[in-house]
Amino acid sequence: MATTPNFLDNALAELLDEQARLTLDDLARSCCMAPDWVVERLEAGLLHGERSAGGWQFSGTAVLRARRLARLESTFDADPELAALTADLIEEVSALRQRLHQLEARLGLMP
C-alpha cells in the first residue's frame, strides 16, 4: 500500500498538538522549504505564528498548513494565494466531515 500525503499529515497531526511549538527553521525543514519561503507566507498572512523574543513559534496546526501549502504550490505550480485558498477549502471540508461523522455517531447512523 502506498503512503499518501494525507495519511502522513494525519499521522503528523496525531504527534503534534496545539501545545507543540516549532521554530521558523523547524517549520521550514518540516515542509522542505527555505526559511524565506515561510517568512513570505507569514508576511502575506497565509501562515500564522507567534512572534516572541526568541523568534517565531508555530503550532502543530501551522506545520500541517505549511506542508499543505508547500505541496500545493509544488505539485500544481500554484501561486501562494491560490494554494492558501485551496488549503482553506480542504480544511473546511475536513472539519465538516468530522462534524458529520460525530453527528452520525450520536444518532447511531452508519455511513
What is the domain partition of the chain in residue ranges?
5-107
Summarize pLDDT for 32-66 with one digit per residue, the tens: 999 999 999 999 999 999 998 989 999 988 999 99
Residue 6 CB-density burial (10 A; 0-12 exposed, 13-18 middle, 19+ buried) = exposed
Residue 54 CB-density burial (10 A; 0-12 exposed, 13-18 middle, 19+ buried) = exposed
Share of the chain above pLDDT 70, in %: 82
Query: Does the domain at residues 5-107 carry the CATH identifier 1.10.1660.10?
Result: yes
State yes or no: pLDDT of 74 exceeds 50: yes
Summarize pLDDT for 15-38 with one digit per residue, the tens: 666 667 899 999 999 999 999 999
**Mean of the per-residue pLDDT values for the chain?**
88
Torsions phi, psi of 98, nearest 5?
A: -65, -45
Is the Cβ–Cβ distance between 62 and 49 less than 8 Å? yes
Please give the average per-residue pLDDT across 78-101, as a whole number. Answer: 97
State yes or no: pLDDT of 10 exceeds 70: no
